[in-house]
Amino acid sequence: MRRIAVIAALTALGISVPSASAGQSEEISTERGSVVFLANGERLLAHDEKRDGYGVRAVLTWNDEFGGHTASVTDGSSSGGPARRNLSFPERKTVWLQLCYTKNGAQGKCSLTQRAVA
């Protein structure tokens, strides 16, 4: 049910969630918020759903011939998100999505990573 609500919110903002693409999108949801990696368009989103003083950060990691890389985007205090960041990857690049909580800008507890494909 939460996934449907997130997809509906993203669609209302003009962000489409494809049913099929070359990659594999991924989402992590909790009672406080959600993070999404959209394979089509390679977008990273974070959505804080509670006004509880904590924020939600989407963290994406990947490796290439130059080493390990990280990209993130943070939405805090139910600011009306989702916050989003556009990225660019080669097709079929494996990436790892993680949801982290933030408090006053500092990163706290994080989820396990989940695999997605750009």
The pLDDT of residue 4 is: 44
* Structural domains counted in the chain: 1
CATH value at residue 84: 2.60.40
- When pLDDT is cut at 50, 70 and 90, the band that residue 26 belongs to is very high
Structure tokens at 55: 């924020």
The residue range of the domain holding 56 is: 2-117
Residue 47 burial by CB count (10 A; 0-12/13-18/19+): exposed, middle or buried? buried
Residue type, 5: A
CB 40 within 8 A of CB 16: yes
pLDDT in tens, 51-98: 888 999 999 999 988 899 999 999 986 566 699 999 998 889 999 999
Identify the H or E element spanning 102: strand 94-103
Residue 83 burial by CB count (10 A; 0-12/13-18/19+): exposed, middle or buried? buried
